[in-house]
Chains A and B, each alone.
Chain A
Amino acid sequence: MLRFLNALPLFWAILAIPAAVMLVTFARDPVTAFDLVHPSGEFSVRMMILAMMVSPLRAIFGRRRWLDWWLARRRSLGVAAFGYGMLHLVFYLYDMGDWGQIAEEALIFSIWTGYVALLIFAAMALTSNAASQRALRRNWKRLQRLVYPAALLIALHWIYVDGEWQDMAMHLVPLLVLEVARLIIMFNKRSGRTGQQLAPR
Chain B
Amino acid sequence: MKFSQAMMAVAAATAMQFAASPSAEATGKMKCEAGPQSSWKSRNDLEAKLKKDGWKVKKSKVDGGCYEVYGVTPEGQNVEAYFHPVTMEKLLVAQRGKIIFKK
Contact = CB atoms under 8 A, between A and B. Distances in A.
Interface of A: 34-35, 95-96, 98, 100-101, 104-105, 108-111, 142, 145, 148-149, 152, 156, 159-164
Interface stretch (B24-32, B33-41, B42-50): B24-32
Contacts of A110: 96-98
A162 B27 CA distance: 8
Contacts of A105: 78, 95-96
Contacts of A159: 26, 97
Contacts of B77: 101, 104
Contact of A142 (B3, B25, B26, B76): B3
Interface size class of B (residues with CB under 8 A): 20 to 34
Contacts of A163: 26-29, 80, 94, 97
Interface of B: 3, 6-7, 10-11, 14, 17, 21, 25-29, 58-59, 70, 76-78, 80, 94-98
A96 B98 contact: no
Contacts of A160: 25-26, 96-98
A159 B80 CA distance: 15
A30 B3 CA distance: 43
Contacts of B14: 152, 156
A112 to B, nearest CB: 10
A109 B21 contact: yes
Nearest to B58: A34
B17 A156 contact: yes
B26 to A, nearest CB: 5
A34 B69 CA distance: 13
Contacts of A162: 26-27, 97
B97 to A, nearest CB: 4
A164 B98 CA distance: 13
8 contacts: A108-B98, A109-B21, A152-B11, A159-B97, A160-B26, A160-B97, A162-B26, A164-B28
A101 B17 contact: no
B67 to A, nearest CB: 16
